[in-house]
Amino acid sequence: MRRRQLWLFATILAAAGAQATCAQEIAPPGRIEKLADLLSEAEKNNPQIQAARQSAESARQVQTQVATLPDPQVMVQHFSVGSPRPFAGYTNSDFAYIGLGFSQDIPYPGKLRLRGEIAKKDAEVMQQQVESVRRSVLSQVKTAYVQLSYLARRATILDSDGEFLKQVVQAAEARYRSGMGNQEEVLKAQIERTKLLREITMNQLESGKAQAALKQLLGRTQTSPDIEREELAETGTTHTFEELLDAAKKNNPDIAAAQESIAKQGLQVDLAKKDFYPDFNVQYMWQRTDATQFRAYYMATFGMRIPIYRGRRQQKELAQAKAEQNRARSESETREQQTAFALRQEYLTQEKSAELLKIYREGLMPQARAELQAGMAAYESNRQDFQALLASFLDVLKLDEEYWQTLAEHETALARLEEMTGLEMRESAK
């Protein structure tokens, strides 16, 4: 009876192994799409980038509008005498007339120029936002690409570990037949195999999510073929933190936008000071009565808007502009500090993850594999129990996954450093 149960468990485990293998089978791989090509595609087709560019183009159209004089007004006047009928008294009274004229508002000198410069600064801020959006999208593309490569590698690891578990089952069966093993060992192996199937399914779920995210970033439809990616590999950088920080201060679009905002608010302060001075208006009229009896009239008018409510309007406007200027300065300082903080975090991540990868490659992983192979041989010769062998196997599985996850974190940190500094970090591949 025990031999029949063992045969049944082995059959179930073999079927589970076949299911895992089928789970890994996908459509024949297509052409591998390089990261550089995907970045170019995203820059061309991503709707976020396109929307940001259109907003910047819209902002560029404002400067000439606000720096131009207000449109003049054209006036037609008719003045009748003795009757509301048109032209009443036109021939017998020099009070009845027809008049033509125009009126032009003229802001105080310097106001139009300041408004144009403020609009120009707004456009420059929008342009920096375009660059910020572009870098953010490209960084997300790099991250999604790295994630896909990591998940593909993890799927390979899980599949190969599933094959190793088959060997463990065969060894357990052989021990059982020789009277040195027991049914519990097979059951434990089956549990681990079922857990492995769960990990494979979760890995497929995460891979599907990463594919969907990458397609969205590229502007592709979700029904388009899945993206074939390159093998995940470690890349390094020779830049120091001080070099990266200096590059971020010079090239980071968020910092540049904050600095442009300070300049814009300074112009707003200057404009608020100009509002303490009057604006002007000029008019010119031509009036005509009966041309045979009376001569034409010509009238020029000069008007002025007097800012008499300075305490309630202009002074408050100036105080508001100065407060906005101080706010812009504080926000710029905050942005610089946040960027330096994020830069430091990502730099430490890529630096320490590179050290961890070396430890995994040269120490932990070879040692764990050697221990597993020795344990497998000892188990088959009845010199080690199954629990110790299973622990060695789980150590190898864990270290393999940790290595590739660390590599993905390393490459993701490089992508974020590139986003913040505008530098190309992947200078040398290992």
Question: For the chain, which domains are there?
Answer: 2-25+33-429 (1.20.1600.10)
Say if residue 184's pLDDT is above 90.
no
Say if residue 427's pLDDT is above 60.
no
Could you report how far apart the first and last alpha carbons of the chain are, in Å?
56
pLDDT value, residue 51: 94
Give the Cβ contact number of residue 112 at 10 Å.
17
pLDDT value, residue 22: 38
Rounded to an integer, the average pLDDT of 236-251 is: 89
Say if residue 149's pLDDT is above 50.
yes
127: tokens are 């342009």
Say if residue 1's pLDDT is above 80.
no
Say if residue 270's pLDDT is above 90.
yes
Cα dihedral 57, 59, 61, 65, rounded to 10, equals 180
Euclidean distance between CA atoms 159 and 229, whole angstroms? 19
Euclidean distance between CA atoms 188 and 229, whole angstroms? 36
Rounded to an integer, the average pLDDT of 119-144 is: 93
Q: With bands split at pLDDT 50, 70 and 90, how would you rate the model's confidence at 181?
A: low
Euclidean distance between CA atoms 30 and 225, whole angstroms? 9
Q: Is the CA virtual torsion 50, 56, 62, 64 positive or negative?
A: negative
Mean model confidence pLDDT for the chain: 84
Contact 87, 96 (CB under 8 A): yes
Q: With bands split at pLDDT 50, 70 and 90, how would you rate the model's confidence at 180?
A: low
Q: Which of 36-45, 46-55, 132-141, 182-191 has the lowest mean pLDDT?
A: 182-191
Higher pLDDT, 229 or 274: 274
Rounded to an integer, the average pLDDT of 258-285 is: 94
Percentage above 70 pLDDT, the chain: 85
Say if residue 37's pLDDT is above 50.
yes
Say if residue 193's pLDDT is above 70.
yes
- Angle (CA) 255-258-262 rounded to 5° is 140
The CA distances from residue 255 to 57, 330, 340, 348, 364, in Å, are 21, 12, 11, 22, 42
Does this model's pTM top 0.85? My answer is: no
User: Taking the CA of residue 286 as centre, how many other CA atoms within 13 Å lie in the half-sphere pointing to its CB?
Assistant: 4
pLDDT value, residue 296: 85
Task: Identify the CA nearest to 125 among candidates 382, 415, 377, 328.
Answer: 328
Q: With bands split at pLDDT 50, 70 and 90, how would you rate the model's confidence at 89?
A: confident
76: tokens are 């037609």
